[in-house]
Structure 1
């Protein structure tokens, strides 16, 4: 059992953009953020990225999944070994793994979610306690299994000293947003948080750049800035049933993959600009569900570095839009830090999700705990 009180934790995140693994440390008691520690990043090689791409949408036992899990475990073990090499204090690891498939509604079979990578393997390799498989319990109990960062967002808002409703937006492969009121004491309280996936984010943009131009991304949004938005496509996109569903709700990375077909007749720059407009429009539509107007929308993830996307968001939102760095937080490492925070909550028996974040019927503390020599 984890000792009571504050502890150092390191969290990892390998997002749906498939660029690499983030690892970040923080000190927490599972309620408050007490200190932030070092962070590190390990990019996937082109070969590793290819293995992961080939396994997207697949479930345990299917072709390519075992190879993808090996890539994930190897990359995480290398990064964590380096980060923790000289760290002698007790530390717990929050290992998210790589999401390959996510179907909490059971649209394509049983309700389930799949993150590649075995935390018990990492526990043995690293000789540290690992908390992992954060999403399965929530899905099994009727929740969406995502997003899981809202309780950490709440802690971040209190750490930053915010005293009014605010929204945190993460733009990775998929967009997810947390509206929160930091004036309440805990994220579990009614009215403290509301969270949901907004729609696609970087995934379709990156896929289009890869397919058409052989590039991994539109660096800084420079390519999109030279294009023109097809407003009719954006309007058609917003008519999809997804935007009429009440939150909480969550998406698989490839849920909107057919967006590439919608822009197939546009030239490259116009196609990317139109996809970016779709992403921003989805966020603005999602904001209609907020219980009260936020004083600002703070953006983390790779999307905050895309000038075209941030400009489009600012034009469509009714509140100021700013990178999360304006609060003194690290927009690259926020999700990794979140899983460090959640690992401590799991080890202390605290909830990690609830009705207003994943739609689960009651507060849930997900996650499996693996200790070296015991699994």
Structure 2
């Protein structure tokens, strides 16, 4: 399959906040034409069901198992994605026939790379039937079957975007995605790509403020801005073996846990965890081939000025600049959804999704399962 395809990418991340939808026209290689995007938030009740699903998923021993109510949640999650696609098409005056493929991430509820086990809730067959569009999904599993960590998958898209950035010749750039878990992609002056999870992102702050203030996240870093950094807590997190281990590995949402309730006030806990989010990125960047001069930040964490200020200060001490994706004409909200559209096209063309330098896979491999939509009458 060659030429340009029109793809929709769907992303529901570890923050459990909702669905991002983005449209892309691409050949799956160097040509990327970014289109419209939108986000749809989950209601509080469904978000809590997803939080419960994370606990239920701990019982899973095989990828196909759906203990408890996971089957029911998977169906509802898929139907919500289908509704998001329909709303997106209507909003942008598009028809299903205008779209060649949907890249469907689903909702990660379990990720144990050391066991070769990753589970994303999402029914590709149902989504294809509901939308009338071909669907590529389950894009992590083949990487893990070939010795990879199953994450991160976005670096192939980051490399395509880096080619369009204005930067000094030979200047390395790092894309930082601060979602529930943070990850970084290093793009060198040549074709070298190195990527890995860099530590906890928003998940610790989200869990902390939800437990102590009853709200899903610290909007605009307002709570953190009223607190102080607890250096002891910071060192406890940064002393985790994850940051010193020579082998980079992908993280599960539960690999780092928020402090105990009595360890900090609401404000000091939020402030400390914001600093941990920033410091973890720079600590993990020590494993890169060289220190970059530019960090481009996407994901929800870029909207927290406390995280961004700490990251800018820490990177600045190493002679690097930090900018939000929008400063280089990219979309920090939709980048992951765009990536899933891009990866779906690569999957259709049999191109690699992951590489030894991104997931530790033994050789570049493609991935994903294709579910064809029923022919329209």
The bucket for the TM-score relative to the shorter chain is: over 0.9
Change (3 A) 1:27 1:216: same
Matching of residue 284 in structure 1 with residue 282 in structure 2: yes
Matching of residue 252 in structure 1 with residue 252 in structure 2: yes
Q: Distance in 1 between matches of 2:226 and 2:218?
A: 12
3-state SS in 2 of match to 1:337: helix
Quote the residue 2:303 is aligned against: 305
Q: Distance in 2 between matches of 1:320 and 1:359?
A: 28
1:196 is displaced (CA, Å) by 0.6
Quote the residue 2:333 is aligned against: 332
Once the two structures are overlaid, the 10-residue window that deviates more, 162-171 or 323-332, is: 162-171
Once the two structures are overlaid, the 10-residue window that deviates more, 87-96 or 168-177, is: 87-96
Q: Distance in 2 between matches of 1:13 and 1:34?
A: 18
Normalising by structure 2, report the TM-score: 0.92
Quote the residue 2:174 is aligned against: 167
Normalising by structure 1, report the TM-score: 0.92
Q: Distance in 2 between matches of 1:287 and 1:64?
A: 39
Quote the residue 1:100 is aligned against: 109
1:121 is displaced (CA, Å) by 1.0
Once the two structures are overlaid, the 10-residue window that deviates more, 158-167 or 50-59, is: 158-167
1:161 is displaced (CA, Å) by 4.0
Change (3 A) 1:103 1:265: same
Matching of residue 210 in structure 1 with residue 210 in structure 2: yes
CA contact (8 A) 2:157 2:339 kept: yes
Q: Distance in 2 between matches of 1:129 and 1:289?
A: 39
Q: What's the CA shift string for 1:203-252, capped at 9, x where partnerless?
A: 11001111100111111111101101011211122111111123531000
CA contact (8 A) 1:51 1:64 kept: no
Alignment coverage as a number of residue pairs: 359
Quote the residue 2:148 is aligned against: 143
1:50 is displaced (CA, Å) by 1.2
3-state SS in 1 of match to 2:359: coil
3-state SS in 2 of match to 1:23: strand
Q: Distance in 2 between matches of 1:294 and 1:29?
A: 29
After TM superposition, list the pairs within 5 Å mapping 1:180-219 onto structure 2. 180-181=187-188, 183-184=189-190, 189=191, 192-219=192-219
Quote the residue 2:19 is aligned against: 21
Change (3 A) 1:269 1:240: same
Q: Distance in 1 between matches of 2:40 and 2:107?
A: 14
3-state SS in 2 of match to 1:292: coil
3-state SS in 2 of match to 1:84: helix
Quote the residue 1:46 is aligned against: 44
Give the superposed CA RMSD: 1.5
Structure 1: 4+ residue segments shifted above 3 A:
none
1:290 is displaced (CA, Å) by 1.4
Change (3 A) 1:232 1:27: same
Q: Distance in 1 between matches of 2:266 and 2:293?
A: 36
Structure 1 residue runs without a partner (length 5+): none
User: Which one of 152, 155, 160 corresponds to residue 155 of structure 1?
Assistant: 160
Change (3 A) 1:90 1:73: closer
CA contact (8 A) 2:8 2:99 kept: no
Q: What's the CA shift string for 1:273-308, capped at 9, x where partnerless?
A: 111111111111111111122121111000000011
Structure 2 residue runs without a partner (length 5+): none
CA contact (8 A) 2:14 2:253 kept: yes
